[in-house]
Amino acid sequence: MSIGKVHRVKDRKQLIKHYRIIPYSELVDVLKKDSIAFFEDSAEQRLKRQTIHKAARKLSEMLGKKVIAEKTLLRLENGESMEGYSFSVKE
């Protein structure tokens, strides 16, 4: 088993934080019009369930209605599918 190395950091500006940004404004627009939206998950870096849960809670606050998130597959017209999360407004 390989153990990672520890490195000294002399200047904090050398650190680049890597995080995923969920496009809340786009999701809100789609949810207002269609009441269901699909957010594609990246194959290289999967989203955590906790992140999706927090996103649904934030979308609920932004819309003033309960938003539910579920892990889903979206079937495309060509027969392929995409893995991701669906956000839907609970009526």
Domain CATH number, residue 64: 3.30.1370
Q: Is the pLDDT of residue 25 over 70?
A: yes
Q: Which two tokens stand for residue 84?
A: 């991701």
What is the reported pLDDT for 18? 53
Residue 9 inside a domain? The answer is no
Give the number of domains in the chain: 1
Q: Show contacts of 4-9: CB within 8 Å, 24+ apart.
A: none
Residue 67 inside a domain? The answer is yes
What is the reported pLDDT for 70? 95
Residue 2 inside a domain? The answer is no
Cα–Cα distance, 48 to 29 (Å, whole number): 23
Q: Is the pLDDT of residue 89 over 70?
A: yes
Q: Is the pLDDT of residue 47 over 90?
A: no
Highest mean predicted confidence (pLDDT) among 10-14, 61-65, 81-85: 61-65
CA angle 85, 19, 29 (to 5 degrees): 45
Residue 4 inside a domain? The answer is no
Q: Is the pLDDT of residue 1 over 80?
A: no
Residue 55 inside a domain? The answer is yes
What is the reported pLDDT for 73? 92
Residue 33 inside a domain? The answer is yes
Beta bridge partners of 73: 83
Residue-range definition of the domain harbouring residue 45 = 20-89
